[in-house]
Chain A
Amino acid sequence: MVLADLGRKLTTALRSLGNSPVINEDVLKKCLKDVQSALLEADVNIKLVKQLTDGVKKQIDLDNIGTGLNKRRVIQTAVYKELCRICDPGVKPWKPTKGRSSVIMFVGLQGSGKTTSCIKLAYHYQKKGWKCAVVCADTFRAGAYDQVKQNCTKARIPFYGSLTEPDPAVIAYDGVETFKKEKFDIIIVDTSGRHKQEDSLFEEMLQVNNAVEPDNIIFVMDASIGQACESQAKAFKDQVDVGSVIITKLDSHAKGGGALSAIAATQSPIVFIGTGEHIDELEPFETTKFIRKLLNMGDIEGLIDK
C-alpha cells in the first residue's frame, strides 16, 4: 500500500503512548520524536515535519487534559488533525464537464512520468466514454513523439505531434485547435520535462500554457523524490496555475512522503497515483481515505470528534 511503511511507523509511535503507565512531558517528547523520524524517513519535507510537531505541541497542554486514556486520545487526535491539515489543501479537484472541450496540460520534472501518465489518463477517461486525445508538445526529449505515437496507437487514442516544428507552443496550439474542432471532450497536452533552475524552460512552459489556456494543469511527481520536492513544486506553481497532482511510481517501495510536500507546496489535491508502467496502472486518489488508511486509523477514527 501507498506509504504503508510510514503508516506502520506512525501507528507504532502512537501505540507507544498506550504502553507507558504515565504520560508526561518525556513520553510525549519521545512519541513526537518517533513521529518525526517516521515522517523524515518517508521524505516528508523537514520544515513540514517541524510544523506538524509544533502544531501538535501547541494543541496539547499536558497538565489540563485529564489523565491516562484521555491524554492518549488527545495526543493521537492532534497528530491526526495536523496530518490532515497538511494533506488536505481544501480544494475540490477539477473535473471535466460533458458537452465542451477541456484541455489538461501536464508539467513536471524530467523523467517524472508525465508522458506515461498523459496516456494513462486519456485511457482512463476513454474507457468511461469520454472522447480523448493527446497532444505531444515535447520537442526536446529524443524519441518523445515516438513514445506518444506508439503508446496511443496501441490504445487507439488519437494523437497529434510533429517531428519538424521546433516550437512546442505552436504544436500545442495546433493540436488543441484540431481536436477542439473535432469536438473532443478531453485534450491532454504533454510537455517536456523541466526544472526551476533553467529559466528558458520555465519560460517555454508559460508559452505553451498561454497558447492552449488549459482548464487544468497537472503536476506530475515521482514518489521517490526527496527534499528538493518542495522548492521545485512551488516553482512550478508560481509559474503556472497547477490545479492537481499525480504521484507516479508508487509501485515501488518508495516512501512517497514527498507527495505530502507537493500538496503543501502547490495547494493542490492528488487526483491519481501511478502504480506501474502499464496503461491501466493508474488509480484515482482521495486524500481523506488515504490518511485514514495511512494511519491504519481503525482504532483512532472512533476517537475523532466529528
Chain B
Amino acid sequence: MLSMFKTLVSQKELTEASIDPILQKYKDNLISKNVASEIATKLISAVKNKLVGQTIGTFSSIKKAVFNGLEESLVQILTPRRRVDILRDVLHAKGEGRPYSITFCGVNGVGKSTNLAKICFWLVENGFRIMIAACDTFRAGAVEQLKTHVHRINGVHADSVKLFEQGYGKDPATIAMHAISAARDQGYDVCLIDTAGRMQDNEPLMRALAKLIAINRPDAVLFVGEALVGNDAIDQLTKFNKSLANHSQSNNPRLIDGIVLSKFDTIDDKVGAAISMTYTTGQPIVFIGTGQTYKDLNSLNPKAVVNLLLR
C-alpha cells in the first residue's frame, strides 16, 4: 500500500519508459479482441505520442492515464464525423419525387442479402414501399433467396415490397438501372440493390461493381463486412474503395458511404473488426447485424464496444 502510494505521488510526467509496458499489454489485448494487428500497432503508437510528456495530477495513476488516453482514441475512431440518416434522406428523395437507392457490396458470404432484407423490413416498418433489385445474377439461389424474403415481408405488410429480377447471367448494372426506373414509375420510395459477393482482388468483378455504381450513382453505397473478419478487413475496404475510385471514370466517384457490420452476434467480446473497419475508411458503421431474423438489426454503441475492447 505504502509503495503504491509512493509511485502515485512521485510520478508526474508520463515517460515512454513508464507507459510502454502498459501500452504493450493493451496492444496484445486489442489484437486478441480481433483488432487488426497493424491497426493496433498504429493506434498504440499514436496514443503513446499523445501521452508522452503529459503531466498527470499527483493522485492519479499512470495506468489510469493510459486507460483514459486509449479510451478517448477508440471512442473517437468509432464516433462518426458524419451521420448517415437513411430515414431522413429517404424522405428528402421522396420530396424530390424520386426513389432513394442503396447498393450493398462486399466479399462473399458476409451477409449482404440477409442484411438487405433486414433493412428492407425496417424501412417497411417505417412506412416506405421498397423495390429490391436482384443484381446478384451469378450465385446459384441468389434470386430465390430474395424472392423468399419479399414473400415473407409481404406476408407481414401486404404489398410493401417488390422484387425486380431478370434471372441469372444478365448484366447487373443494367438490371439496377431498370429497377431504379421501375421504382420511380411505380411509386416505390426506396430501391435496394443486392450485388454478388466478390473478392477484393478479383479485377473483372471489381470492375463490374464499379460500373454498376458509376452508372446508377446510388444515394448510398453500403459495404457489408462481417465482425468475424481479421486482418483482411483492411485489405477488403481499401481495395473496394480503390476500385470504385479507379474504375469509375469520373472526377467525383461514388465511394463507400457506410458500413454494415454483420454477424456481431457470433464474436462474444472480440469486437475489434469495428475498429479495423472504421479506422481504415473513416466511414461510420450504419448498422450492425446481430442475428438472422429481421429484428436483428441495430446501431452500434461506441461506448459499449470500447468497454469490451479495454476489458
Contact = CB atoms under 8 A, between A and B. Distances in A.
Interface of A: 37, 40-43, 46-47, 109-113, 140-151, 154, 195-198, 222-229, 231-232, 249, 251-255, 257-258, 277
B33 interface: yes
Contacts of A112: 109
A110 B230 contact: no
A252 B201 contact: yes
A253 B37 contact: no
Contact of B231 (A43, A150, A222): A43
Contacts of A37: 37, 41
A277 B229 contact: no
A225 B267 CA distance: 11
Interface in B28-57: 28, 31-34, 36-38, 41
30 contacts: A40-B31, A109-B263, A110-B266, A111-B263, A141-B145, A142-B114, A142-B146, A142-B148, A143-B145, A147-B139, A147-B140, A196-B266, A197-B268, A198-B265, A224-B107, A225-B229, A226-B34, A226-B270, A226-B273, A228-B227, A228-B268, A231-B268, A249-B199, A251-B201, A253-B200, A253-B201, A255-B230, A257-B230, A258-B230, A277-B139
A111 B226 contact: yes
Contacts of A253: 200-201, 232, 235
B162 interface: no
B230 A113 contact: no
B235 to A, nearest CB: 6
Contacts of A277: 108, 138-139
Interface in B229-269: 229-233, 235-236, 263, 265-268
A164 to B, nearest CB: 14
Contact of B266 (A146, A223, A232, A257): A232
A252 B109 contact: no
A265 B148 CA distance: 36
A126 B202 CA distance: 29
**Size band of the interface chain B makes with A:** 35 or more
A227 B272 contact: yes
A144 B140 CA distance: 9
B33 A110 contact: no
Contacts, number: 147
A143 B31 contact: no
B234 to A, nearest CB: 10
Contacts of B228: 109, 222, 224-226, 228-229
Nearest to A256: B232
B292 interface: yes
A46 B140 CA distance: 37
B140 A252 contact: no
B266 A143 contact: no
A217 to B, nearest CB: 20
A141 B201 CA distance: 28
Given A249-B108, A251-B199, A228 B232 contact: no
* Chain A residues touching B, majority SS: loop
A46 B32 CA distance: 6
A42 B231 contact: yes
Interface of B: 28, 31-34, 36-38, 41, 107-111, 113-114, 117, 138-149, 152, 199-202, 226-233, 235-236, 263, 265-268, 270, 272-273, 291-292
A106 to B, nearest CB: 14
A42 B144 CA distance: 36
Contact of B229 (A141, A148, A151, A224): A224
Contact of A227 (B108, B230, B265, B292): B230
A142 B268 contact: no
A76 B257 CA distance: 46
Contacts of B32: 46-47, 227
Contact of B144 (A146, A231, A251, A254): A146
Which of A42, A112, A254 has most B Cβ within 10 Å? A254
A36 B155 CA distance: 53
Contact of B232 (A46, A140, A146, A224): A224
Contacts of A146: 140-141, 144-145
Contacts of A251: 199, 201-202
Given A144-B141, A255-B231, 8 more contacts: A142-B146, A195-B263, A195-B266, A197-B265, A227-B34, A252-B200, A254-B232, A257-B230
A228 B308 CA distance: 14
Contacts of B34: 226-228
A228 B272 CA distance: 10
B141 A143 contact: yes
B230 A225 contact: yes
B155 to A, nearest CB: 13
A228 B231 contact: no
A46 B31 contact: yes
Contacts of A148: 140-141
Contacts of A258: 230
Contacts of B152: 142
Contacts of B266: 109-110, 195-197, 228, 232
Given A143-B141, A150-B140, A226 B108 contact: no
